[in-house]
Amino acid sequence: MRGRCLATVRVALAYVALAYVAPAGGEEQLPTTLQTMRAELERSMAALAEEPEPPYFVSYEITDMHTVSARASFGALVSSDERRTRVLDVDLRVGDYDLDNTRPLRDPDIFAGFRFGRVRVPVEDDPAALRTVLWNETDHRYKAALEQLTKVRTDVEVKVEAEDTADDFSREDPVIGIETAAPMDVDIADWERRVKRYTLPFSAYGNIYGAEAQLSAFTETRWFANSDGSAIQAQETIYRLFIYANTKADDGMVLPLYKDYGSFTLAGLPDDDTVAQDVEWMIATLLALREAPLVDPYTGPAILSGQASGVFFHEVLGHRLEGHRQKDVDEGQTFRKKLGESILPASFSVHFDPLRKSYGGRDLVGGYRYDNQGIRARRVTVVDRGTLKNFLMSRMPIDGFPHSNGHGRKQMGYQPVARQSNLIVEVDAPLTEDALKTRLLEAIKAEGKTFGLRIEDIQGGFTFTGRLIPNSFNVAPILVYRIHLDGREELVRGVDLIGTPLTAFSRVVAGGDRIAVFNGTCGAESGGVPVSAASPAILISQIEVQKKSKSQDRPPLLPPPVEVPSA
């Protein structure tokens, strides 16, 4: 489904600090898997060079995922497992850099994305077995590429001239690099005891209907080789603790809360006392949300906390600056013609920096050293003091941007496109929290409103960037406060933040002096990829909220099997 972010799901992952080693010698210095991949790649390219339409580019990427996790609910263990899998992705191109088989058809085949299933490879380093899978999949992809190239050439002949005349693929220098991460440190029996202990307090409340805790760790290793000569091993180990609980109001609205933690090391996760305090806060807040009043549809001033504004910038700005969206004729191309124009207040700058591993004491999950096309990651300033300067680029060029800037990303099993990484919002002369609230109260009074809103925490969001449906966004808050003229704050529920991009950005007024980090997974054309946003709270002169969808089912009719504590 092109043109929209399927979800920004809140998770607690953290990018691991990696050690970089550039092989000093030749082929023998590379890991065995990379040596095998390069050998089969060279053999395939040589053999296919004899064909009438040989490939001009081929890349292999193998992803090894090793996961250990323990999950509990209401004090009882739900699952405890360890998994290991490897998946192969192949990018094979016939034609030439200016026009090849990957060019999107202007009457697309809706089933094209299902042509190739997920290709698993042995988890053992058996060169013969691996080369057999590489050989078979290369042959499969080559035949499909020839068929697709014929369709592309026909499409070019019978359709109107494309607005963007850039090549289909960029020429880039080869890269060789090896990353390693610290080995996973897991005592699964201890994890099982901890997750049971974390969720046990929720079981004392008959009006809390879901409660889970999960401790997990994973090591992801990627081996990448291409016909340009690149050879890369990228590796990261991540530890995660995620706690979730929900209740339901009498009108049927489901009310969730989350707590998430991530670290480079197991020791970096919070201790049991800290988790216990957060669980107590979650219980108290869930009970308060059940009694909180609903907010009707509203337009007016609001403050978005740092976490909420991070998602706001991710959904409203970030997706619309992904390079391939400037080329796709079905995309809205909101900012394509706005380079050099002011799109935010002059005090705001926005960067994407996959090389940054933390901000404000929090780890950033969207970081990496090499993208999924073997390009070195780099910092990209997209907005400089309010002025649009750049786009996020993969190896799909657009007019005026002939090269990648290291943002070609994907989930294993997908083809890479330009995606976001670590989004960082910086504000010159930021306001304190008190000053930001004072400005909000002044705006409420000036507009003749009786209240404004403070959106404190969010569940996620999505955006539509295409032309066929309204070019809009929806951010789903889970903690919202009504700010009255006397400064009093009241917990409320039942709103979604909605709007359209150009109008929303024209209403941004000021930013705060405290940075908050949102870590998550963003889903789009190339699957789910880790992303982060580090942003201050922002004041918006006018937002719009609509009623949140809700279940029509009443809370349980049967009494709970436990005694519910009195308020």
Report helix, strand or coil for 462. strand
CA Rg, the chain, in Å? 25
Query: Is 481 within 8 Å of 492 (Cβ atoms)?
Result: yes
Question: What is the per-residue pLDDT across 46-63, written as a single tens digit (0 to 9) for each?
Answer: 999 999 999 999 999 999
pLDDT at 17: 32
E strands of 310-450, at which residues?
Answer: 348-352, 358-359, 362-363, 380-384, 387-388, 408-409, 417-418, 422-427
| Nearest to 304, CA basis, from 503, 465, 481, 435 | 481
Question: What is the per-residue pLDDT across 435-489, written as a single tens digit (0 to 9) for each?
Answer: 999 999 999 999 999 999 999 988 877 777 877 777 778 878 899 999 999 999 9
How far apart (Å, rounded) are the C-alpha atoms in residues 245 and 272?
A: 18
What the block records as the tokens of 314 is 């991710």
How far apart (Å, rounded) are the C-alpha atoms in residues 535 and 514?
A: 8
pLDDT at 21: 42
Whole-number Cα distances in Å, 38 to 127, 170, 324, 410, 520: 11, 21, 29, 21, 34
Class of domain 31-291: alpha beta
How far apart (Å, rounded) are the C-alpha atoms in residues 137 and 145?
A: 12
Alpha-carbon torsion (431, 437, 440, 445), positive or negative = negative
pTM of the model: 0.89
Residue boundaries of the structural domains of the chain: 31-291, 298-547
Write the single-letter amino acid at 132. Answer: T
Question: What is the per-residue pLDDT across 91-142, written as a single tens digit (0 to 9) for each?
Answer: 999 999 999 999 988 776 555 544 567 899 999 999 999 999 999 999 999 9
pLDDT under 70: residue ranges of the chain:
1-28, 108-116, 557, 562-567
- Terminal CA-to-CA distance of the chain, rounded, Å? 47
What the block records as the tokens of 525 is 């054309």
pLDDT at 161: 80
Write the single-letter amino acid at 489. Answer: E
